[in-house]
Chains A and B, each alone.
Chain A
Amino acid sequence: MIKYTIALTAMVLIGSIANAQENTADEGKLGFDVMVGGKIGGSAPLSLPREIRKIKSYNPNVPFFVGARANYHIDPKWGVSLGLTFEGKGMDTKASVKGYKTTFNAVNDSKEELRGYYTGDITTKVHNLYLSVPIQATYQLSDRWNVQAGPYIAFAVKKEFYGEAYNGYLRHEQPTGNKIVVDNADYDFAESVRSIDVGMSLGAHYAIDKKFFALAQFDYGFNNIMKTGFESISFGLHNIFMNVGVGYRLK
């Protein structure tokens, strides 16, 4: 439901900006920015579940964004913006887990799986690319500072979610089931990644000069990035990222 609301809002907004463009009287109220930068974050549970005993390593992967944005200034302080961003939301992690209820799927065959409780090490590699449409309210705090907040809708254009379980064991079906040593067992959940991610952004721009600005933006995905019914990870994963970059004011 949320995504339809947002899609509708986006359409109305695009329409109004297009209208504004035609209206020469409003010309001074319209601005365009382009932005590029890096990001840090992950596809991660809101709060770490107890099953995760240790994060052994964490690396951002595909940590970039490049985007453009149209701004409409309602008054000297307030405005709205509509953007289009191409960005990577990814990470490579190594973690130790204990009694982690999961399944090992035969690749590309999600119906047949080895179920149980896994204790040991896992790597998780998420390399998803999204085309995101943020719609934000903007507020000019001072000459140099501008803050923004608003929802975004992101469409996955490339999905990768895979990894390996190693140096551990699986209790088959139940914690009291047969114990099976697991090493180098691969999993691939790419097909279970949702195509749409909806979330909220909160950001700030700092004007370096008339044209360039530095930016920081925090993105939080409301929905689990995995499809409903996906059970191999017993907790929801959310895209949570911090973007840092530079922008250039075209107009």
Chain B
Amino acid sequence: MTLFEARNGSFAKSMYCSITLIIKFTLNIIFMKRTRNYSWVICFMLLFSLGSCIKEEALNMEADIVGVHADEDVFLLNPVISNTQVTLYLQPNIDDLTKLNMTFDLTPGASIELLKDSLKMPAGTQNIDKALVEQLLKNGVYYKVTSEDRQFTKNYLIKIVKTDGGFVPTEYGFEDTAIDKDNKYTIFYNKIDGQDFYNWASGNPSFSLTLSLGGGAKEPESYPTKTTSDAHSGTKAALLETKLTGAFGAMFKKPIAAGNLFIGAFDTGPVLTDPLSATQFGLPFNQIPLALEGYYKYSPGANVTDENMKPVNTKDSCDIYAVFYNRKQLMDSEPDPKKKVSYLTGHNILKDPSIVAIARLENGGATAADGFVKFTLPFKYTAKVDDADVANLDYSIAIVMSSSKYGDNFIGAVGSKLTVDDLKIVTKK
């Protein structure tokens, strides 16, 4: 039996109102014939009548950028928006950015302003708009979003990426890293000709939940994806390590987190409900890839366990692969505009019909001794590719690396370590 059931939102009173009514009714009966002043009874009644129903809604506390628009159709992809960063990909051949005139969709009631300090005016320049566009293209500019209740603010790094000539670099030394301001994890990016490219993502943002839950200090080394000075060249390499998720894992049946690094973006939204869709793989690429090359070393952890932390009688292995897919076909295949996305996820990264070629490390077992091992993984094409369409940025590429091959299903060995350096996409000239 349900005493009160909501109907079409018209049920705006709480059970309090009803209780108050019952009390009033009862007391009215009891004291109908009495005229004596039972002031304490009245006090009691007042206490429960006052403010006992649904209050006026509080002002919003969130301060999100949820969308970015320009006056004209200049973006190649939907803006890639994380909790603190927005990356905008321009269509090729957009040169005149004066007509850009960005507008932002925010949490209702929130406001946004340019953080003037983050804009470095070149000497002798007075034109803010020009300086802004230049810096948006180069290193990005910070904007501050303030919540409707004015109590919370969040800074976003906004970056515009020109796609002429391609923008996913073909060589990666993993030398350029940044540390996330709040959660202190490592972010890999690429500095090319003074421009910053934030193409790499990892599961680190969700591992910060584990650390919040008593899994350790929030410092770069605590995370599954980080840097190491044990490099093949330069001073740094990417180090991916499978970690225990502790209390977090116990709560949500996700006992381990493999270190991963991939081209694309990571959305913390579905990490509890649908972790495979948290990884958004792939960014536009305008060359035809022939092989993925690089140097790696891998030492698997001792004991492989499954999603229930039960031992599995197998050896852990790493995974390194690249997927080249027809993004236009992927997007056209989804009739629902709300579900139309430009990326692959953990659900379809190796099996979507839009995939035209895959390059994958066949044996991800332990590497011998302590040295780096070179790999050359040819792209195996399963569909024809139109050179002109590739040049026109209809295709995307995803590179995915993981310290536990089945880490996406929470199968792997804690302590498995994959080090990767000097990655290169060999392309058709």
Contact = CB atoms under 8 A, between A and B. Distances in A.
Contact of A114 (B51, B53, B212): B212
Max chain A C-beta neighbours (<10 A), residue from B34, B154, B208, B247: B247
A159 interface: no
A250 interface: no
Contact of B2 (A40, A59, A111, A204): A59
Contacts of B269: 169, 179-181
Contact of B271 (A109, A175, A180): A180
A47 interface: yes
Given A48-B51, A54-B11, A174-B152, A40 B22 contact: yes
A50 B57 contact: yes
Contacts of B34: 141
A201 to B, nearest CB: 11
Interface of A: 40-42, 44, 46-60, 98-99, 104, 106-107, 109, 111-115, 117, 141, 145, 147, 169, 171-185, 202, 204, 216, 218, 220, 240, 242
Interface residues of B, number: 64
A44 B15 contact: yes
Contact of B44 (A172, A177, A184, A202): A202
B26 A178 contact: no
6 contacts: A48-B51, A48-B53, A52-B14, A174-B152, A178-B205, A218-B23
Given A114-B251, A180-B268, A181-B272, A55 B63 contact: no
B19 A114 contact: no
A44 B16 contact: yes
Given A40-B3, A57-B4, 17 more contacts: A40-B19, A44-B15, A47-B52, A48-B55, A52-B14, A53-B54, A55-B13, A55-B15, A106-B250, A173-B212, A176-B152, A177-B182, A180-B269, A184-B273, A185-B252, A204-B30, A242-B19
Contact of A180 (B48, B60, B153, B272): B272
A216 B26 contact: yes
B55 A50 contact: yes
Question: Which applies to chain A's interface (DSSP): helix, strand, loop or mixed?
Answer: strand
B83 interface: yes
Interface of B: 1-6, 9, 11-16, 19, 22-23, 26, 30, 34, 41, 44, 47-48, 50-58, 60-64, 83, 147, 151-154, 182, 205-206, 208-209, 212-214, 246-248, 250-252, 268-274
Contacts of A113: 213
A220 B154 CA distance: 43
B270 to A, nearest CB: 5
B23 A175 contact: no
B212 A172 contact: yes
B52 A55 contact: no
Contact of B9 (A54, A174, A181, A182): A54
A113 B208 CA distance: 13
A97 to B, nearest CB: 11
Nearest to A107: B251
Max chain B C-beta neighbours (<10 A), residue from A41, A145, A181: A181
A165 B62 CA distance: 20
B14 A55 contact: yes
Nearest to A115: B212
A53 B52 CA distance: 13
Nearest to A175: B61
B44 A47 contact: no
Contacts of B62: 99, 171, 175-176
A98 B58 contact: yes
Nearest to A52: B54
Given A57-B2, A114-B213, A176 B53 contact: no
A58 B206 CA distance: 35
Contacts of A117: 61
A218 to B, nearest CB: 6
Contacts of A107: 251
B273 A183 contact: yes
A112 B212 CA distance: 8
A176 B153 contact: yes
A100 to B, nearest CB: 10
B3 A114 contact: no
A55 B19 contact: no
A55 B4 contact: yes
Max chain B C-beta neighbours (<10 A), residue from A112, A220, A240: A112
Contacts of A115: 212
A47 B19 contact: no
A184 B274 CA distance: 12
Nearest to B9: A54
A174 B214 CA distance: 17
Contacts of A216: 26
A204 B182 CA distance: 59
A177 B83 contact: yes
A226 to B, nearest CB: 19
Nearest to A145: B30
A49 B2 contact: no
Contacts of B52: 47-48
Contact of B147 (A57, A106, A175, A177): A175
A106 B30 CA distance: 49
Nearest to A218: B23
Contact of A47 (B50, B60, B154): B50
Contacts of A180: 209, 268-269, 271-272
B5 A57 contact: yes
Nearest to B267: A179
B311 to A, nearest CB: 23
Max chain B C-beta neighbours (<10 A), residue from A53, A55, A185: A55
B75 to A, nearest CB: 22
Max chain A C-beta neighbours (<10 A), residue from B30, B151, B250: B30
B382 to A, nearest CB: 34
Given A44-B15, A54-B11, A178 B83 contact: yes
B23 A242 contact: yes
Given A48-B55, A114-B212, A60 B3 contact: yes
Contacts of A178: 83, 205-206, 208-209, 268
